[in-house]
Amino acid sequence: MKKVVAILVLLVGLAFTANAQKAKTISLEQTKGKFTQKSLSLSEGTYVFEISNKNVGHDVGFVLAPKGKTEEKHHIKNAYVTSLVKNNSKSSSKKVTLTKGEYVYFCPLNPTPQYTLTVK
């Protein structure tokens, strides 16, 4: 009986862990010199950023950093796209867990302004 209970507890724990790891996809589009989404407001959680290059004419990327800390050493590395986004295509980041606060997102390759991402 103890083994059955232990197995059930383990399975329930694994189910909660699987749900906790589920990431929501945030799709962002870049055109020449800008993102079409000027700001984002999200809840705390785990996200994957999908970046599309809409006719920019060259490869683009994606940077996410805490607001006021945009130097490379503060970039959230998992938010980088896994490969540069070719013209008229898409690429995604790894999973990124965001906590409450303000962040900025931008593309130094396009280049774009810095846009605000708020996590509540």
- Give the domain CATH number at 71: 2.60.40.420
pLDDT at 6: 47
Single pTM value for the model: 0.83
Query: Is residue 75 assigned to a domain?
Result: yes
* Structural domain contains residue 28: yes
Res 5: pLDDT? 46
Q: Which domain holds residue 100?
A: 24-119
Picking from 117, 112, 119, the residue whose alpha carbon sits closest to that of residue 29 is 112
Q: Considering the domain boundaries, does residue 9 fall inside one?
A: no
* Predicted local distance difference test score (pLDDT) of residue 49: 98
Q: Is 68 a member of any domain?
A: yes
Beta strands in the chain (DSSP E): 24-31, 34-35, 39-42, 45-53, 63-66, 90-92, 96-98, 101-106, 115-119
- Evaluate whether 119 touches 99 at the Cβ level (below 8 Å): yes
Domain-located, residue 5: no
Asked if the structure places residue 40 within a domain, the reply is: yes
Model confidence pLDDT, tens digit, residues 31-84: 999 999 999 999 999 999 999 999 999 999 999 999 999 999 999 999 999 999
Residue 92 lies in a domain: yes
Specify if 39 maps to a domain.
yes
Note whether 91 and 84 are within 8 A (CB).
yes
Dist. CA 22–CA 15, nearest whole Å: 11
- Number of folded domains that form the chain: 1
pLDDT of residue 103: 98
100 has a pLDDT exceeding 80: yes
